Structure 1
Amino acid sequence: MSYPFELGDETLWDAGYHSGMLYAALARGAAEFLKVPSGLTPTREGSCEVSPAAFSAFTARLYDMYASTRNDVLHGLADGLLVTSLVLAERAGRAIVLRPQHEASLREEMTTLARSMA
């Protein structure tokens, strides 16, 4: 069973059920913490619809929080959610501009993760 993240008729990520549900739950929690909508809407069909503008804003806000601190715990907590969100944003045609000091490491993580996000 899967939990696809869709943009119209396009599947951005055909996540495994548990991976997709956990990502969506983490995104909801982070969006609440950041006081912005996540841009992700669960559907009755068992998928998640991605609103490109709102999701891009959520991902940018998540990245801004990540980039504005040197707190290792906060980086560790946000890293998986951020990298997954960056991959989805890129697939939705809404790539986030990364600061030079994060570009190489986050791009490497994105490339590795994207291979698993078929």
Structure 2
Amino acid sequence: MSYPFGLDGETLWDAGYHSGLLYASLAHGAAEFLELPSGLTPNDQGGCDVDIEQFRVFVEGLYERYASTRNEVLHGLAHGLLVTSLVLLERAGGTLALTPPHAATLLDEKASLAHSMAV
């Protein structure tokens, strides 16, 4: 069983059920923390539809919070969610400018993770 994330009928990530459900839950929790909509809406296919504009704002907010602190716990908690979100954002046709000192690491990890995220 899968948990697909889609945009306008196109699958961006055909996640495994548990991976997809955990990602969506973490994104909704982080969105609440950031006081932003996540841009992810549960659909009838058992996954989520992505609203690209809301999702871009969410990922931007997550990245800004991540980049603006030196708190190692906050970095650890947000890191996997951020990298996964960057992959989804790119697949949806969105972009986000990353700045040093995190840019190189996040871009490398995004490229590596993207290979594991089935389309």
On whether the aligned pair clears a TM of 0.5, the verdict is yes
- Asked if 1:56 is matched to 2:60, the reply is no
1:47-82 CA-to-partner distances (Å, cap 9, x unmatched) read: 210000000000000000000001111000000000
- Asked if 1:101 is matched to 2:108, the reply is no
3-state SS, counterpart of residue 95 of structure 1: coil
Cα displacement (A) at 1:9: 1.4
Measure the CA separation in 1 of the matches of 2:76 and 2:110: 15
Question: Which ranges of structure 2 fall in alignment gaps of 5 or more residues?
Answer: none
3-state SS, counterpart of residue 53 of structure 2: helix
3-state SS, counterpart of residue 115 of structure 2: helix
Cα displacement (A) at 1:114: 0.4
Question: Which ranges of structure 1 fall in alignment gaps of 5 or more residues?
Answer: none
Partner of 2:31: 31
Cα displacement (A) at 1:109: 0.7
Q: Return structure 1 stretches of 4+ with deviation > 3 angstroms.
A: none
1:5-36 CA-to-partner distances (Å, cap 9, x unmatched) read: 00011100000000000000000000000000
Cα displacement (A) at 1:45: 2.0
CA-based RMSD of the aligned residues comes to 0.7
3-state SS, counterpart of residue 14 of structure 2: strand
TM-score (norm 2): 0.97
Cα displacement (A) at 1:44: 2.0
TM-score (norm 1): 0.98
3-state SS, counterpart of residue 85 of structure 1: helix
Cα displacement (A) at 1:95: 1.4
* Residue type of the alignment partner of 1:73: V
* Residue type of the alignment partner of 1:6: G
